[in-house]
Structure 1
Amino acid sequence: MTEQKLHNQAGRTVEHSGDNAGTAFPGASGVLFEQAMAQTRMAVTLSDPHDPDHPLVFVNRAFLELTGYDEDEILGRNCRFLQGPGTDPEAVARLGRAVRDNDVVVVELLNYRKNGAAFWNAVHIGPIYHEDGTLRYIFGSQWDVTDVHAARSEERHARLMEREISHRMKNMFAVISSIVNMLGKTSTEPALGRDINERIRALGRAHEATLQLSFQQGRVDPTQMFRELVGPYTSDPRALDLDGGAVQLDSNSVSILALTLHELATNAVKHGALSSKRGRVALSWRMCRADGQDQPLLRLTWTERGGPPLHGDPERLGAGSEITTRMLRAAGGVIRRRWDTAGLTAEIELPLQC
């Protein structure tokens, strides 16, 4: 049996003796080859391109450690046994095209070890030729890049968070600008700066409470946000009753709801239920659809009970109420206030940008 030198496309040679790479390579060069393959940390395989199923005919120790299989469980099989339910068929097809075209390619695959554990595998394959230019093997190397893949995911998540926070902040400053402009036109009170600051703090509480929900898919439970918004206006937790399910909130609706509930709560402290020790506020919400509309609608009901008797003209709205009414109207929403002997009931409808 004569010694052969196998050339890859880079011009380097892998020396071995004999025709069967699945057995030990006889000869001094074969010993060196096996020792080199045993020492390298990169998993290496050779497959037979002349067999229709491209079976593996050589694997090194690093490949056995990477996959958890024994050598006798691998040799003679196509490398597809590492694939599983999460493996991308398009990535597998890219490998298949490279083998068919005698091309060199690097593809990241989700593969599975013998124990079922998934790992991201950077697979590099390419042809190895005889000195006469005929194809001899398909060389393969594998590298566990699970940590690298996770780092990329974290980086994408960080970029998503950065964009979301930037969007929220731009939206918040736009709302603040609207508050300042409208208050400047409607308010004659000397405490204009205090009013602005109170509304800005309400916005901050709302966005802080919902920041952790920004990256969840689908509906989220806004109970904590509503508690953060209304809770500071009463020292008695029993004065606030929250009832509602998960809804789909966007940053614009968060800002509008923050200002609306802030105005309702401050008015309740000044004139309504929260000005009395026996006063109670119930806030309920649900998602629905308006008649003939496909866009989802958030409907909230604010109900005050146990407050002092009504005095004066409750229909006369202050500057804050005008702001919330205009902001809701600009977003396609509405607020309906109804006063009776029991107290105020406010119904809010706000289209959601989902």
Structure 2
Amino acid sequence: MLITNPNKPDNPIVFANEAFLRLTGYSRAEVLGRNCRFLQGPETDPADIARLRDAIRRRAQIEMEIINHRKDGSKFWNRVLISPVFDKDGRLTYFFASQLDVTLERDRLVRLEKDRDALDVALDRRTTDLRLSEERMRFILTGARLGSWTLTFPDLLLTCSDISRRHFGLLPNEPFSYDDMKAAVVESDRLRLEAAIADGRDEATELELEFRTRTPAGETRWLMARARPHVDADDVVTGMSGIMIDLTDSKRNEEQRHILTAELKHRVKNAMATVQSIVTQSLRNAVSIGEARDVISARLQSLSAAHDLLTRENWNSATIPEIVTAATAPFDIPKGARFSIHGLDLRMPPRATLALVLAFHELATNAVRYGALSVPSGHVVVDWDVVKHASDDMLELRWHEFGGPPVAGPPARRRFGTRLIEAVLAAELNGKAAIDFRPSGLVFKIVAPVPDQDKIAATAEDEEIFRRHLASE
């Protein structure tokens, strides 16, 4: 504690107690009669000195912390309280000053501030890491079309990401509770879902389940949910969190694969049956091994041409111009010289396409051997149209030979080729077929229902969508 006299020059110290002397290291003789400024040093803030002097000048009380220096030059934080003392007439007589060393307190405060700053930096870093981790997780989940979800126990509060809501056919802002989710699940799968969630709650088991849902638009979707339970310090399951995956496309592709495999087996069996029939009938009607070999080879080439045509069209269908051209191309040399082909651009289903190619090939082979194509001047007209029969539209297709040798009439024995043309083709097209052996040239005609063009197009579109799915995997 100090007392100074402002009424003397330079406001000298007139009293200093022992505590002040111990604090500063000075003796009483070194202190008395001096201004307090001797405590200031190189690290004393000039701004603090100015504040102190201003208060003294205004005769005002001031409390502040300032760096002072001891006799040995060491610094310390001094908490100073200076208060003016007035006599009964209001005249300033003394200044009372107390000092308190608060260096340790200030050091602790500085350390606390440094620790706080370090914690702030660490918190910012962890917050940034967490935000980046969440962004990475959100990117991964979005890219993989994985929805996230959380279900709390015992209140069954469901929280879903936007992707999970879309899996159920909902918009991001639509309400979606646990009861809503159960109601969306197909009834036969709902009990399994509830049982799996109950096991997770009661036994702390992980959940993995495939189930079907129906969206508000009526679409059935396959989803898979995976989740892990949350267990607190008391081993109580407080909820579970996991992901939701849309398996609909995968399930559809799997179904289409089964259909494709079955269809492939069916087509192979049909092809083998056709080959077997061609070989058996050709051998039965051949007069020599050489003739049988030639006939079988020609008919198998015709069958191959039909398969090539359907393969180019993904086994969906083929147009009648494509069918006629594929069957007659080996005989139309030079191209367009021996055949006139014209008619509507109608599509035929696969089985009808195979039957027509084989029939036209058989007609062309016979025309080369016996009919219009056996002489240079002969040619064939193939045309077709849709004609009204009673109340139904019917396809009328004609093969008409011109310029060949006179036709003596029907052969004495009906060969396999004739039966193939008439019976097999009529059965495949669900129509009537007949060969007319006119003297001027053979005429073949078939009348059959017009194939449903919309159905053929829809089938082609479905198969194309399926193939794009396979190609994208």
User: Are the aligned partners of 1:307 and 1:343 in contact in 2 as well (CA < 8 Å)?
Assistant: yes
- Residue 167 of structure 1 aligns with which residue? 266
Amino acid at match of 2:296: I
Amino acid at match of 1:336: A
- Residue 9 of structure 1 aligns with which residue? none
Amino acid at match of 1:247: M
- Residue 304 of structure 2 aligns with which residue? 204
Task: Quote the offset at 1:298 in angstroms.
Answer: 8.7
Matched, 1:259 2:354: no
Matched, 1:45 2:141: no
User: Are the aligned partners of 1:199 and 1:262 in contact in 2 as well (CA < 8 Å)?
Assistant: yes
Aligned residue for 2:158, secondary structure, equals coil
Amino acid at match of 1:321: G
User: Are the aligned partners of 2:407 and 2:440 in contact in 1 as well (CA < 8 Å)?
Assistant: no
Q: Indicate the structure whose relative CO is greater, using CA pairs within 8 Å and at least 6 residues apart.
A: 1
Matched, 1:246 2:341: no
What is the alpha-carbon distance in structure 2 between the residues aligned to residue 210 and residue 259 of structure 1? 13
Structure 1 residues 223 and 188: alpha-carbon distance in aligned structure 2, compared to 1, 3 A threshold: same
Matched, 1:282 2:386: no
Task: Quote the offset at 1:163 in angstroms.
Answer: 4.0
Q: Deviations along 1:62-114, whole A, 9 cap, x unmatched?
A: x88x999xxxx96995389xx9xxxx9546994797358535343478999xx
Amino acid at match of 1:46: T
Structure 1 residues 284 and 165: alpha-carbon distance in aligned structure 2, compared to 1, 3 A threshold: farther
Task: Quote the offset at 1:191 in angstroms.
Answer: 2.0
Aligned residue for 1:345, secondary structure, equals strand
Task: Quote the offset at 1:178 in angstroms.
Answer: 2.2
Task: Report which stretch shifted further, 315-324 or 193-202.
Answer: 315-324
Task: Quote the offset at 1:193 in angstroms.
Answer: 0.9
Task: Quote the offset at 1:336 in angstroms.
Answer: 0.9
Matched, 1:343 2:429: no
What is the alpha-carbon distance in structure 1 between the residues aligned to residue 198 and residue 133 of structure 2? 23
Structure 1 residues 194 and 243: alpha-carbon distance in aligned structure 2, compared to 1, 3 A threshold: same
Q: Deviations along 1:120-170, whole A, 9 cap, x unmatched?
A: 964324654555676633423245779xx55x7666655544543443333
TM-score when normalising by structure 1 = 0.58
What is the alpha-carbon distance in structure 1 between the residues aligned to residue 287 and residue 313 of structure 2? 39
What is the alpha-carbon distance in structure 1 between the residues aligned to residue 387 and residue 231 of structure 2? 66
- Residue 409 of structure 2 aligns with which residue? 313
Task: Quote the offset at 1:229 in angstroms.
Answer: 1.4
- Residue 98 of structure 1 aligns with which residue? 193
Structure 1 residues 170 and 349: alpha-carbon distance in aligned structure 2, compared to 1, 3 A threshold: farther
- Residue 74 of structure 2 aligns with which residue? none
Structure 1 residues 143 and 187: alpha-carbon distance in aligned structure 2, compared to 1, 3 A threshold: closer
User: Are the aligned partners of 1:172 and 1:255 in contact in 2 as well (CA < 8 Å)?
Assistant: no
Task: Quote the offset at 1:228 in angstroms.
Answer: 1.0
What is the alpha-carbon distance in structure 1 between the residues aligned to residue 370 and residue 348 of structure 2? 31
* Aligned match for 1:195, one of 284, 295, 318: 295
CA-based RMSD: 5.3
Amino acid at match of 1:178: S
* Aligned match for 2:399, one of 282, 297, 303: 303
User: Are the aligned partners of 1:109 and 1:123 in contact in 2 as well (CA < 8 Å)?
Assistant: no
User: Are the aligned partners of 1:283 and 1:303 in contact in 2 as well (CA < 8 Å)?
Assistant: yes
Gaps of 5+ in 1: 1-26, 113-118
Q: Deviations along 1:241-287, whole A, 9 cap, x unmatched?
A: 1434233343xx44433332211111223344445556232143769
Amino acid at match of 2:443: T
Aligned residue for 1:308, secondary structure, equals coil
Aligned residue for 2:343, secondary structure, equals strand
Aligned residue for 2:436, secondary structure, equals strand
What is the alpha-carbon distance in structure 1 between the residues aligned to residue 191 and residue 325 of structure 2? 57
Q: Which of 1 and 2 has greater Rg?
A: 2
Aligned residue for 1:237, secondary structure, equals coil
More helix by share: 2
User: Are the aligned partners of 2:327 and 2:358 in contact in 1 as well (CA < 8 Å)?
Assistant: no
Aligned residue for 1:312, secondary structure, equals coil
What is the alpha-carbon distance in structure 2 between the residues aligned to residue 51 and residue 76 of structure 1? 20
Structure 1 residues 34 and 54: alpha-carbon distance in aligned structure 2, compared to 1, 3 A threshold: same
Sequence identity percentage = 17
Structure 1 residues 288 and 145: alpha-carbon distance in aligned structure 2, compared to 1, 3 A threshold: farther
Task: Report which stretch shifted further, 237-246 or 90-99.
Answer: 90-99
- Residue 124 of structure 1 aligns with which residue? 226
Gaps of 5+ in 2: 1-122, 142-146, 200-206, 216-220, 456-473
What is the alpha-carbon distance in structure 2 between the residues aligned to residue 182 and residue 297 of structure 1? 35
Amino acid at match of 2:359: T
Aligned residue for 1:346, secondary structure, equals strand
Segments ≥4 residues shifted beyond 6 Å: 50-53, 73-76, 108-112, 285-291, 329-333
